[in-house]
Amino acid sequence: MALSYEDMMVGSTTEIGKHTFTREEIVEFAEKFDPQPFHLDEAAAQASPFRGLVASGWHTCSVMMGMLVRNALADSTSMGSPGIDEIRWLKPVRVGDTITMTNSVLDKRISESKPDRGIVSTQWAGINQHGETVITVRSKGMFGLRNPDASS
């Protein structure tokens, strides 16, 4: 495994990947999972407060999760997550926007009940091509220790 609990450094920020949102994928995701007019139809979106077609916030979260798994967790001791603490959709993601995802380690600790793993608090951020933060997600992840016996 390339990445384990011990490798996570509090205060570090890592770029995870980039994704450009197309009209087709915005509409396809919305048709399946979030069929609100401003995600589906340009005319309805133009008449909405967004003044144009925008990606679902859940679409943005899904893209970020995919990048995280493929580019950071695929070869790690990840044991899943006990949950998301906070999601903030700060700016709409529009057709053609390219979002760069970063992941920052906020805190970490070894589990008291299961000392073979640690809990890592992180903040993901999605930043568009204009340098604007469009989404932040605070969550916790569980990671196996490289050498669990050394933590006792």
CA distances to 46, 80, 124, 135 from 86, in Å: 29, 17, 10, 10
| Residue 128 belongs to domain spanning | 5-151
CATH number for the domain harbouring residue 127: 3.10.129.10
Instruction: Report the pLDDT value the prediction gives residue 149, as an integer from 0 to 100.
Output: 76
DSSP class per residue in 61-103 = HHHHHHHHIIIIITTB-B---SEEEEEEE-S--BTT-EEEEEE
Give the chain's domain count: 1
**pLDDT at position 151:** 54
| pLDDT in single tens digits along all 152 residues of the chain | 578 999 999 999 999 999 999 999 999 999 999 999 999 999 999 999 999 999 999 999 999 999 999 999 998 999 999 999 999 999 999 999 999 999 999 999 999 999 999 999 999 999 999 999 999 999 999 999 998 876 55
Letter for the amino acid at 15? Answer: E
What does the block give as tokens for 133? 């933060």
* Tokens at 71, concatenated: 């580019």
- The whole-number pLDDT of residue 91 equals 98
Can you read off the two tokens belonging to residue 97? 């926007």
Supply the pTM of this predicted model: 0.91
Tokens of 147: 């050498």
8 Å CB contact between 55 and 21: yes
The first and second tokens of residue 26, run together, are 């915005």
pLDDT value at residue 148: 81
